[in-house]
Amino acid sequence: MSSLQLALVIAGVLLVIGVVVYNLWQERRLRARIGGEARVPDAAPDTMQRVEPTLARTAENVRGAPSTPPAAGARVTHDPEWNVPMDEVVRLPDAQTEDAQAPDVATQAEEEVADVAAPLEPMRRARTQPASAIAAPDPDIETIVIVQPARPSPATGLAAGLHARLGKPVRWYGRRDPDGPWQRLAGDSRGEYGEFAACMLLADRNGPATLAQIDAFRKLVAEIAARLPGASSANASSDEAQRAEALDRLCAELDMQIGLTVRKVPPATIAGTRLRGVAEASGFRLAPTGRFEWVQDETGAVLFTLQSVTDEAFTSESLRQGATPGVVFLLDVPRVADPPRAFDQMKLAAKRMAQTVGGELVDDNGRPLNDAGLAAIRDQIAEADAALRRYNIEPGSPRALKLFAA
């Protein structure tokens, strides 16, 4: 090898080292600005699946793909809008269960994730502020671009980004100075801001954010920054795409929906008028989604829903003129606070419905459910609750509502 070739090789090595060091410095600088570091496992195969426990055996469907529901009709629909304010989440103590017969969902989820890499450590660390204390960018579940305008600018300069539709929810924050609190921005936000943070969710029930979506998000933010004018900084898109895939796999392991079916023995059916009367007397209200919703008075949160086993939407007209062979009470575990307690309320409502309409209460496989079977399902829910909290995803919290939205 000639001296020129050797010099070129050395220069190339030094260039690569310089790029790596620069990228590490930029990443640390960005993390320091948004209040914490985010680490996720490396990518893993797309076959990781969501857990949907049944009484006999765990049924599974792929997160982010159309699923074939079990016999109980445990089908889920969600509000497509994403406008929940985001708070930091505090890790709570791990829940305990003494039933050795119940599947250990928490252990199962951790073992699956550990097969590819370390779990989401930042999400497992306790926060220093309570869940309701602040609203800010969440680097654990969002890809974030920091924008620094040349001079303080109003939120009106972000108009193109505030209403962006990129396939994943986008939020914008601003703060007056680098040490000040973040403020969620909207079109009517007043004042001027010395720093902005553009945030896009990395994963939900539709799957992870793709590299193309992340690139489109970065391009949009860069164009907005140029018009302010200002500078923007972010991690590499490829790294963020890997984080999105890992986060989606973790959430797929922690996801759970529980259905309890009340059915009539064929060919008998439940008249729609009777169903509506019994449902509303139990506290349900018919929602525009075509399902009955049981809403908690104190919080206004939907704890569980009631829908037809045929998956047809209920309307005032269909209930007045038609009938259904059965109904499904559905609990979306990650999206409700205190899932075991919510299940207790749903169980009582299902029992009363079965007794009132002369139906039977069955599991996802169509087998009658007794108190022992219901207790076993409750144990599964308690395990799922504990698993979510281990990863600092408090059920029913703003963070959970984002990750487990469709």
Query: Is the model more confident about 112 or about 4?
Result: 4
Provide the residue range defining the domain that includes 339.
256-403
Question: Is 349 domain-assigned?
Answer: yes
Distance CA 374, CA 362 (A): 10
Are residues 209 and 165 located together in one domain of the fold? yes
**How do residues 15-46 score in pLDDT, each as one tens digit?**
667 655 655 565 555 455 444 433 333 343 33
55 occurs within a structural domain: no
What number is the average pLDDT over the span 55-72? Answer: 36
Task: Supply 30's token pair.
Answer: 């960005």
Averaged pLDDT for residues 203-222: 96
Closest CA to 249 of 95, 91, 40: 40
* Radius of gyration of the chain, Cα coordinates, nearest whole angstrom: 25
- Asked whether residue 263 falls in the same domain as residue 372, the answer is yes
pTM for the full model? 0.69
Q: Is residue 308 domain-resident?
A: yes
Summarize pLDDT for 289-333 with one digit per residue, the tens.
999 999 988 888 999 999 999 999 999 999 999 999 999 999 999
| pLDDT-above-70 percentage for the chain | 67
CB 167 within 8 Å of CB 208: no
CA distance 313 to 299: 26
Whether residue 383 sits in one domain with residue 322:
yes
Judgement on whether residues 193 and 241 belong to the same structural domain of the protein: yes
Please, what is the angle between helix 237-254 and helix 105-114, to 10°?
150
Instruction: Give the residue ranges of DSSP H helices in 163-271.
Output: 211-227, 237-254
Same domain for 262 and 230 = no
Contact predicate 400/88, CB 8 Å: no
Are residues 353 and 231 part of one domain?
no
Report how many domains make up the chain. Answer: 2
Interval 68-78: pLDDT, tens: 333 333 333 33
Find out whether 106 and 51 touch, Cβ atoms under 8 Å.
no
pLDDT at 364: 78
Task: Work out the average pLDDT over 101-117.
Answer: 40
Residue 278 amino acid letter: V
